[in-house]
């Protein structure tokens, strides 16, 4: 005996067919993610120019505090993930940003690409843990923390191998704080601000905010 009505069957079919589409990349996703990555890469390069004069007094006050500036290289992945909302978006935007920064020219040369890959994965894994279905502020902060942890591990291995335990702890804690605030919270606020302008109307992230206004 059939117990479902035609309308119920249609609704069920529609929901089922939309599930794969939610994770499928569109052309507009690729274009916007690339734009975010390129723009972020230029910011990364500018941040790199300011890093030495800004980090010197922090490092002099307490070695390891310079990691408080690390979030300036982590926001691309979190912002890309929040806007695109597709698997791989955080990794893609962070890596594109790293590539652009390396092409323009940084003091870290090709190792910038390694940093971008690792840091993008740090944010990506957090979004994946929430099944790419939760985009609230605390998830953005956790994604920033994930990127910050990835930054700390990467830097301690590549740049501070053999550092004392005290330094490693301070550097890691500061990386987590910077990731949470600069990459996580600020990216979430930036995504909401862009959504309110209508610039993200073709994305769920934009329609969600518009519906609440």
pLDDT digits (tens, 9 = 90+) for 113-131: 999 999 999 999 999 999 9
CA distance 57 to 44: 21
The average confidence (pLDDT) of the chain is: 89
Structural contact between residues 86 and 25, judged by C-beta atoms closer than 8 angstroms: yes
Helices (H), 24-110: 27-61, 75-84, 89-104
Task: Give the rounded percent of residues in the chain with a pLDDT score beyond 90.
Answer: 78
- Reported as a single tens digit per residue, the pLDDT across 169-200 is 999 999 999 999 999 999 999 999 999 998 89
Q: How far apart are CA 193 and CA 52, in angstroms?
A: 31
Please say whether the beta carbons of 148 and 39 come within 8 A.
Answer: no
Q: How far apart are CA 104 and CA 179, in angstroms?
A: 24
Residue 51 has pLDDT above 70, yes or no: yes
User: Which of 162, 166, 163, 129 shows the shortest CA–CA distance to 145?
Assistant: 129
Looking at residue 110, its pLDDT comes to 84
Closest CA to 112 of 129, 131, 99: 99
pLDDT at 154 > cutoff 70: yes
Distance of CA 43 to the CA centre of its chain: 14
Distance CA 83, CA 92 (A): 12
* 92 pLDDT above the threshold of 70: yes
Q: Are 75 and 83 in contact (CB under 8 A)?
A: no
């Amino acid at each position: 005996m059939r117990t479902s009505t035609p309308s119920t069957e249609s609704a069920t079919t529609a929901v089922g067919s939309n599930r794969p589409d939610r994770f499928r990349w569109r052309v507009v996703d690729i274009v916007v993610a690339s734009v975010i990555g390129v723009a972020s890469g230029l910011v990364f390069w500018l941040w790199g120019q300011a890093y030495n004069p800004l980090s010197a007094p922090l490092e002099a006050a307490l070695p390891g505090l310079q990691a408080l500036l690390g979030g300036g290289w982590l926001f691309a992945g979190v912002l890309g993930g929040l806007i695109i909302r597709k698997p791989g978006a955080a990794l893609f935007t962070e890596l594109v940003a790293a590539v652009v920064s390396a092409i323009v020219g940084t003091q870290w040369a090709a190792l910038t690409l390694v940093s971008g890959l690792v840091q993008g994965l740090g944010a990506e894994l957090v979004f994946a843990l929430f099944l790419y279905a939760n985009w609230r502020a605390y998830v953005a902060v956790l994604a920033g923390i994930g990127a910050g942890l990835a930054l700390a591990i990467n830097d301690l291995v590549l740049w501070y191998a053999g550092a004392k335990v005290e330094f490693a702890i301070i550097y890691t804690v500061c990386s987590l704080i910077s990731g949470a605030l600069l990459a996580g919270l600020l990216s979430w606020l930036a995504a909401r601000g862009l959504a309110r302008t209508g610039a993200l109307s073709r994305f769920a992230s934009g329609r969600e905010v518009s519906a609440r206004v």
